[in-house]
Amino acid sequence: MEEQHHHHHHGGAWSLEQLSRLNHADRGQLMPQAPVLEALNATPGAVVADVGAGLGWLTFPLAVAVGANGRVLAIDPSVDGIQAIQARARQEELAQIETIVARAEDTGLPHDYLDAALWHTMYHDIEDRNQALAEMHRILKPKGRWVIVDWDKRPMEFGPPHEIRIAREQVMEEVSAAGFHVVEQWTAGPVTWGLTVEKP
């Protein structure tokens, strides 16, 4: 995966070209879905947010997991990405997918609303982490589960530059300080770490 093109899109929305580059053939090997879905444990009827949904890499399997009575909120600042998700959701007749053009810092969702939330490879990209962490705490239900997956902080030929990557230990400190309880650390795949936290 060509790396020089991962312009650090700080706060800026991704273009469709950047987003589709992520949906690269190797993505299934590099970013396996199964461990993430297992960590989220989204059951039928659950309300789950895929924050930083991109083109819906995990939105669609989540929609299947929550079923027709559940809801998956695909949240992303990229209008291109959100429109691509909307079109595919219509095509696949997945009415349980709702889309929201918004940043993680300000989702517009009600308090104590979500059963679970996912941040997949976007923690390192958040501009105002304090605000985004407080927002997650606000919108998750008590006992709500938040799954964070991000790039291992080690040099690689691809993925975001090493210096902007964030080690899991740092994320654990930050989420704990924001009032979350760390439930589990796990291996998300060959290039990513996983962390499951809970709002008490």
pLDDT at 1: 40
What per-residue confidence (pLDDT) applies to 157? 83
Mean pLDDT, contiguous 10-residue spans, the chain (200 residues): 41 62 66 94 97 95 97 97 97 98 97 98 95 98 98 89 95 98 96 97
User: Cα 79–157–38 angle (5° rounding)?
Assistant: 60
The whole-number pLDDT of residue 21 equals 63
Q: Which of 192, 164, 170 is nearest to 8 (CA)?
A: 164
Half-sphere exposure of 154 (CA within 13 A, CB side): 5
pLDDT of residue 30: 83
Query: How far apart, in whole angstroms, are the C-alpha atoms of residue 176 and residue 178?
Result: 5
* φ, ψ dihedrals at 96, nearest 5°: -75, -5
Domains of the chain by range and CATH?
16-198 (3.40.50.150)
Q: What is the predicted pLDDT for the residue at 81?
A: 94
- 0.95 cut: is pTM over it? no
Q: What is the pLDDT of residue 35?
A: 96
